[in-house]
Structure 1
Amino acid sequence: MNENGMPQINRKIQSLTVGSLIGCLGGLIGLGGAEFRLPVLVGLFKLGTLEAVILNKAMSLVVVSVALLFRLKSISLDSLVDHQGVVINLLTGSLIGAWWAAGHAITMSRAWLDRIIMILLAGLAMLMLVESTWGLHADGALFANTATQFAAGVAAGLLIGIVAALLGVAGGELLIPTIVLLYGLDVKLAGSLSLCVSLPTMVVGFARYRQSDSFKVLRAEGSLLRWMSMGSILGAATGGLMLGLVPTGALTFGLGVILLISAVKTFMHAK
């Protein structure tokens, strides 16, 4: 039995199943699914909010690392190197944002952390609803002036780093639209570049969380971390293979609604 009274074998099955389902749905729409894992970790597995964020961050690191390796098969390394300026531009802000936000999350009261996470998840849900309705495309870079574009990239990166640190997510749901709209790049390339930004950003946030007593959740919930990470990777691979079989717009809209409801239900009434 674990500390929540759930038999370990049942908890492992739940972790693998939930991770696989979330990973598959995320893979179908091109996301890692971390934003959906967070309400599940708090609501289903009864983790504290900060502990859930840290565990979610650890899972996101694993999933993004694997996803980046798979992505290299479809997007050449040379193509990523050619657009390293985009990655550096966004990292300039995201690394600062992740370090700052993780530091504040450690000292923030549980009630305030719940409120902020609920607002951020609701915002991501609304973004998914907008993208599913109007789509995502660009007719070139948003700004012609290089200095203006760089400043906008730093500002966007700062915001994305804050969101990624507070939710324990990779931030692809924000990074991909930013790269497409701000730099006028293809969605497929933007997905790979977003992983290049996400990985260092998450590492910085993760390093900051090591200063928290809640970091010990990684050892206490090692089984949950392993099984859900495994499920997330398997699910994401399955979802990627099924890409195109399900209308992406309709699925994104439905998942946006689910995320909105679960965010409000979980973090408004979190105990």
Structure 2
Amino acid sequence: MKNESEQAIAVFGAEGLQTAALVRSRIRKGLWTSHTSGLADEHVQGNLVILPKAQADDFLLYCQRNPKPCPVLAVSNPGDRSLPTLGADIDIATDVPRYRVWRDGELVNEPTDITALWRDDLVSFVIGCSFSFEQALMEAGLTLRHVEQGRNVAMFRTNIPTQPAGPFSGPLVVTMRPLRASAVIRAVQITSRFPNVHGAPVHIGDPSLIGIADLARPDYGDAVDVMPDELPVFWACGVTPQAAIQQARPAFCITHAPGAMLITDLLNHQLASF
């Protein structure tokens, strides 16, 4: 059986893996329905939240009050499926590999196309994703185990509360990457340059201090081993809004499935602050 790296090359071709528009076109045709880590890795990827206009203002305020996990890259006009600041040909109803559909805070479906669900009052939010700083980490020589193993990054709900806005509240969700102690300072320096995609880590070391009981059992994504000479390093995660949506229980909402992101035409280095 092919691993996901081999499957990706089969779908996109080795050169196509680096081309955002080509990757989106294959996703649009339903040829790729898995996580997007490692695809078009020079390009900015985004988390997705789609809400009716009636809840959109409160959600935007929630993002503004929680910029670490919810850095907003773009907001659509109501009913508009395009996001021209992120890519000329983006169709938000077809260009994410897998969506999640929520009704009254309950997950009811995970389709690969939401065209049939689209409404004229829907507003799309694209939120920065830590996949965007992974390229910078790897260019600096840091090994990322989930990328190395072709897995989705591990994500955990914490005991750290976010700042509420309207009905939206809930715990901070984090991603975890194990790094040797000698690499941690470098990782902090590098990711600090990317505040629009979560920036520096929020916690390093003992996971129990932020309410994580078992690193082998992530709430989302895939577990990876933490070696004896490594520290778990935690960054704020754009899946945080999904936890807030579960608490707010809006009548209708659509998000991306964890790890299955929107790939934009923006380049990661364009988000670097210096």
Q: Same fold (TM over 0.5)?
A: no
More strand by share: 2
Q: Which has the higher helix share?
A: 1
How high is the TM-score relative to the length of structure 1? Answer: 0.25
Q: TM-score, normalised by structure 2?
A: 0.25
